[in-house]
Structure 1
Amino acid sequence: MSLSRRMFLGRAASSAAAAGAFSLPTLLSAPAFAQDGSAPQTPFEAGGRTGWTSHAAELDFFDSILGPKSPNRFTMDVIGQTDLDDCVRRDGSEGTLPVHLFAFGTDHTGDVATPGTRPTVYILCSQHGNEPAGREAGIELIRDLAFTTDPTLLELLSKVNIIVTPTANPRGRQRNARENGVTDINRDHLNLRTREARAYAEAGNVWRPYMIVDHHEYGPGQPVLYDDDVLYLWPRNLNVDEQVRAGAKEFCLDYIKADCEAAGYTADEYGLAKVGPNYGPLQTPVGAPTGVQTAGDWDDGIARNATGLRNAMGILVESAVSARPHDPSEATNNLFRRVASQRVVMDAAIRHLSEKGEASMAITAGAPVRRAEDGAAQGTVWFDGQDEAHPSTSLASLQPQTFDDPGAEEYRIPASALTKAEGVHGTLTGVLGLHEVDWTVDGDQAVFPMAQQSKNVIPLLLDSRAERSTVNGTASY
C-alpha cells in the first residue's frame, strides 16, 4: 500500500460513498499491486523514507521493474536530455542526463495504447530540482501502476492513459538546485529555450493530455496565514480558453482540495495568504474576500499557464517543506508527509480520469476550434492580468493593464527571424512548431493569422508588449 493510501483509505471511503461518487479507495484498494510480493520497494521506501533517491538509484530501480512488466503494461522512453553536459552519470562519467516518460494504459491487444487517442493525464514531477517530494511520489506511482492487480484499476487503464515524468530536471535534482544550470525551466514554457521544456512540450503534442499536473514544493510557510500541507492553482492567464480554465479550477477544488482534506491534509489556493486559520473548524472559506496574493499570476512562461495557453488544463501543486506546527512528530522528519500528500494529488488525478476523463477530453479537444473562432472574431488579446484578483490594496497590478480589444487579424515578422536562435539548441521555427503555430511566407515576411488554434501564443511571442516576446512583430487590424 502506498504512503498516501494509508491515510486516504481510512478517511475518504465513507465520504466518497456518501456522495455516490466513484470511490478512489475502491479503485486503489490494497493490494493495489502484485500479490505475489514481486513489487519492489522504491529507493525512498527502502531507505526508511529519510532521504531522497539518487540518480543512480532511480535508474537501478527502473531497470528492476522494466523486465517483468514492459512492454505490455507500460513503456519507458527517453524524451529529452539535460541542457548541460556536466552531470554525473550512473557509471561515474560526465555528460547529459536523460529525461524519462513512463506511459501506462493498454489497448485491446494488451500493449500500451496509441498516444493521443483517449483521455490522458500527464504527471510532471520536480521541475525544480530542490523540490523532490513530487519525484518520490511519481516513482511510487510508477511502481504501483506497473504492478497493480486491482481489476478496477486495470479496467480503467484499458480506457485511459497515465503518463509520468518523475524527474523533470535531472541536473537540478542531482545538485539540489532549483534551476537546470542555465535557467528556471518553469519560466521557459513559452520560449522553450531549454531542452527539458521542449521535451515536455513534445510529449504533450504526442500524447495530447487533457491535463498536466505539475508537482512542486514551497516554503518556508507563514504560520496560520500560509501554511497548508498542499497548495494548488489553475491557469490564470486571461488568454486561456474559459472552458479549459473552468475545468482546471474544478479539479483543484473538487478533487485536490476534497481528496487532500479527506486524507487528513490541509489544502488551499497557491499564492494567497489568508487572514485566518487554514485548517480546522474555523478555516477561512475558499474564495473568501480576505488575504493578500503574493504569487500565482498570469505569467505565460509557467507550466500552469502555458499548458492552458496550449489548450489543456494546467495544474500547479505544491507540498509544504516546513514542518507542520500542529504536528510535533515532524520536528525530526517531514519527508513522509511531503511525499504522501503529493501522492494523494496523483490519486485524485486518477479519480478525475475515471469520473471526468471523457468530458474533460472533449473540453480540451474543442478548445482549438474555439480559439481559432476567437481569433477570427478579433477577440481580446491580454498581455497581463489574471482571472481573479482577491481584494487587496496591493493587487491593482493584477488587473489587466495592457490589452488589445479588438485583437489583431495577423502578425508579421521578417522571415529571416525564423532562424533566430532560441537557447543553445533551438530556433524560433522550432519553438513555433512545438506550439503548433501555422504561418505562411509572403516575400520577405512570415505571416501569422490569428484565426488558428494557437492564437493564444502568437502575440505573446511576437508582440513587444508581451513580457516574454522574442521578436517585435507588426500587428494588422
Structure 2
Amino acid sequence: MRRLIALAALTTAALGLVVPAATAAPAPPRTGFEQTNGASWTGLDEEQAFLAAVDKASRHTAVSRIGESVQGRPINLVRVGPAHAISTVLFICSQHGDEPSGREGCLSKLRDLAFQRPDPKVRYLFVPTANPDGRAADTRTNAKGVDINRDHLLLVSPEAKALAKVIKDYRPEVIHDLHEYGATPKVYDKDVLYLWSRNLNVDGHLHDESVALSKDYAKPHVERAGQSTGEYGIWTDPVTGKPIRQVAGDGQERILRNTAGLKHAVGMLLETKVDAKDPAEAADPALNQRRRVQGQLAAVAGTLKLVADRWVSIQLAVAKSRLAAVLGQGPVYFGGADNEPAKPEDVDKNPACGYRLTAEQFAAHREVLGLHGIFSVSAPGGRIVPRHQEAGKLVPLLLDPRADFGLVKTAPAPHCV
C-alpha cells in the first residue's frame, strides 16, 4: 500500500497536477448583536442583510415580506424547514419595539436551525421584528401609538393584520410570543416569566398543552441555563414570597397568547427581565443583554423540545379544538380566566347560532373578519356570521354586545340555516 501511495505521489508530481487543499465550509452569518458580543442590538438594516445571507447560504429557508409597518418598513417572515409539514411552530418576536432580546434570540435561532438537518415533520416560522417602527424608535407601540399585543382582535394596525394573515394561512399548532418586562416594583422580579392561554373559551385540551409548554418545558430549560423563573402576572411579597396581586390582563382575548388559543394553537408568552440583576450587569450592559438573550434562547429550546416530545398530543389537541368550534360546543365566556372564575352574567350557556350584520356593518368589517378566517352567509339586508365554524371561538367575542373588546355590536341571529 505504501508503494502505491508513493507511486501516486510521484505520478502527480511528474504530470504537474495540483491537488486542491480541503477547504472549510464558510461560517454561518452572524447577527450584529453577536458580532459585538452583546454590546449593541442588531440594527434593522443589519437584519435585512443577515436574513438575505442566511437565505442564500441555506437550502432550508425561505424569506418573504408579509407586510409593512405604518412607516413602510418591511415585516419579514422566515420559514425554516419543509414548505409543508405535519406541524408548524410560529415565533413572533418584538411586538413591543423596546423589548429587543426576543428578537435577537429569534435571529440567532432561525440561523442555527437553517444550518441543521431539518425535521421533515416540522416547519418553523419566525417573524423576527413584528414592530419595526417601534424597534427603530425604541418604543413599545407602533408609529401610531398602537400596542400591537392588544390588537389581535380588532386588527387596526398593519402589523397585527400581517400577523393575523400568517396565522390564517399557515395554521400553526404552536405560537411562542417573545417579550421583555421591567422588574419594578421588586415584587415582580424573576429572570424569565412565562404565561399560557388563560381565556376560558380556549379548548381544555389545548389549554393543558399551553400550560405544559410553560411549566414543563420553558421553565426547566430556563432554569437549567441558570436563570430564575416565575409565572407572569403574579406579584409576590419580596419577603414572604406569597402572591399579593394578579396583573397581566389574564383572560383578554385580544392578547396574542389568548388569541392563539382561540385560533387553535398552543400559546405562550415569554418575558425576560430588562433590569440589571446584580452589580456586574449594572456595570456592563453587554453582560445584561447577553443574559436576556440567553434566557430567550433557553425558552425557545423548550418549545422545540415540546414539539419533538408531544407532537402527536399537540395534533390531537388542535384537532379536538377545531372540531369543538365547528360543533359549537360549550358555553361562551365574556369574562374570567383559568385563575379567575367568570361572573354568572358573563357566561352564556345557550349561545346564539350566529350574528346578523347589516350590509353596512359587513362592508366596514369585512377585511378583519376575513383575516380571522371567519366566513359569513348572505341574508336579507346583510349577512349572517354563524358561530359553528372553525373560527367560531372568535365570533361572539367580536360581534356580541357583551364582548369587552368587540369589533361591532350586532344582533344574535334567530336562525342560521
Please indicate, yes or no, whether the TM-score normalized by the shorter chain is above 0.5: yes
Q: Could you say if the C-alpha distance between residues 35 and 345 of structure 1 is closer, same or farther in structure 2, counting changes exceeding 3 Å?
A: farther
Code of the aligned partner of 2:308: S
Residue 214 (structure 2) pairs with residue 252 (structure 1): yes
**Is 1:438 aligned to 2:375, yes or no?**
yes
Give 1:399 deviation, angstroms. Answer: 5.5
Moved more, 255-264 or 193-202: 193-202
| Counterparts in 2 of 1:370 and 1:138: CA distance versus 1, 3 Å | same
Query: Which residue pairs with 1:99 in the alignment?
Result: 75
Residue 399 to residue 43, structure 1, CA distance change in 2 (3 Å)? farther
Structure 1 CA distance, aligned partners of 2:184 and 2:309? 33
The letter for the 1-side match of 2:324 is R
Say yes or no: does 1:219 pair with 2:195. no
Q: Following the alignment from structure 1 to structure 2, what is the Cα–Cα distance between the partners of residues 297 and 317? A: 14
Q: Could you tell me how far apart the structure 1 residues matched to 2:127 and 2:322 are?
A: 25
Aligned ranges 1:443-462 → 2 under 5 Å: 443-462=380-399
- Check conservation: 2:95, 2:148, Cα contact below 8 A: yes
2:78 is the counterpart of 1:78: no
One-letter identity of the residue aligned with 1:97: R
Which of 366, 383, 403 pairs up with 1:429?
366
Residue in structure 2 matched with residue 274 of structure 1 by the alignment: 236
1:236 match: 198
**Of 163, 169, 185, the match for 2:131:** 169
Q: In 2, Cα distance between the equivalents of 1:467 and 1:430?
A: 21
Deviation string for 1:70-106 (max 9, x for gaps)?
xx31111111111x23xxxxxxxxxx1111111111x
Q: Which residue is 1:55 aligned to?
A: 44
Report the counterpart of residue 284 of structure 2 in structure 1: 332
- Aligned pair count reads 389
Q: 2:315, 2:133 → 1: CA distance?
A: 33
What is the distance in 2 between the residues matched to 1:269 and 1:56? Answer: 35
User: d(CA) in 1 for partners of 2:153 and 2:281?
Assistant: 42
User: C-alpha displacement at 1:213, in angstroms?
Assistant: 0.4
- The equivalent residue for 2:401 is 464
Q: CA deviation at 1:193?
A: 1.8
Residue 10 of structure 1: aligned partner = none
Letter of the 2:61 partner, please give it: F
* Equivalent position to 2:268, from 304, 308, 315: 315
Q: Which amino acid in the other structure matches residue 411 of structure 1?
A: Y
* Equivalent position of 1:404 in the other structure: 348
- Residues 194-213 of structure 1: matches in 2 within 5 Å? 194-213=157-176
SS of structure 2 residue aligned to 1:157? coil
Q: Distance in 1 between matches of 2:243 and 2:369?
A: 41
- Structure 1: gaps spanning 5 or more residues: 1-33, 86-95, 106-111, 149-153, 390-395, 421-427
Q: Is the 8 A contact 1:270 1:296 kept in 2?
A: no
Q: Which secondary structure does the structure 1 equivalent of 2:243 belong to? A: coil
> What one-letter code is carried by the residue in structure 2 that aligns with 1:113?
A
What's the counterpart of residue 15 of structure 1?
Answer: none
Structure-2 change in CA distance of 1:456 and 1:382 (3 Å): same
Q: Corresponding residue for 1:113? A: 83
Task: Provide closer, same or farther for how the CA distance between residues 401 and 270 of structure 1 changes in structure 2, counting only shifts above 3 A.
Answer: farther
Q: Distance in 2 between matches of 1:437 and 1:198?
A: 14
Distance 1:147 1:330 in 2: 35
> Quick check: 2:179–2:269 contact (8 Å CA) kept in 1?
yes
**SS class of match (2:28):** coil
Q: Which position in structure 2 is the counterpart of 1:129?
A: 97
Contact 1:461 1:469 in 2 (8 A): yes
CA deviation after TM superposition for structure 1 residue 199, in Å = 1.2
Checking the alignment, whether the CA contact within 8 Å between 2:205 and 2:320 is kept in structure 1 is: no
Change (3 A) 1:290 1:180: closer
Indicate the larger mover: 126-135 or 349-358.
349-358
TM-score normalised to the size of structure 2? 0.88
Determine the C-alpha separation between the residues in 2 that align with 1:59 and 1:41.
Answer: 12
Indicate the residue corresponding to 2:360 in structure 1. 416
Tell me which amino acid in the other structure corresponds to 1:79: I
Paired residue type of 1:322: D
Paired residues of 2:102 and 2:296 also in contact (CA < 8 A) = yes
Instruction: Please report how far the alpha carbon of residue 472 of structure 1 lies from its aligned counterpart in structure 2 after TM superposition.
Output: 1.6
TM-score relative to the length of structure 1? 0.77
| C-alpha separation in 1, matches of 2:308 and 2:277 | 32
Deviations 1:165-209 (A, max 9, x none): 111111110010111112111111011122111111111122221
User: In structure 1, what is the Cα distance between the partners aligned to 2:344 and 2:166?
Assistant: 32
Looking at structure 1, the residues matched to 237 and 264 of structure 2 have their Cα atoms a distance apart, in angstroms, of 34
Question: 1:366/1:130 Cα in 2 relative to 1: closer, same or farther (>3 Å)?
Answer: same
- Residue in structure 1 matched with residue 12 of structure 2 by the alignment: none
Distance 1:212 1:61 in 2: 24
Match of 1:356 in 2: 310
**Cα separation, partners in 2 of 1:299 and 1:35, compared to 1, 3 Å:** farther
Contact 2:362-2:382 within 8 A present in 1 as well: no
TM superposition shift of 1:276? 5.3
Secondary structure, aligned partner of 1:48: coil
Identify which of structures 1 and 2 has the higher relative contact order when contacts are C-alpha pairs closer than 8 Å and 6+ apart: 1
| CA-CA distance at 1:159 after TM superposition | 2.0
Q: Distance in 1 between matches of 2:261 and 2:356?
A: 24
**1:146 matches 2:109:** no
The percent identity for this pair of structures is 34
Q: Name the amino acid aligned to 2:261.
A: G
Further displaced range: 353-362 or 225-234: 353-362
CA distance in 1, matches of 2:46, 2:354: 51
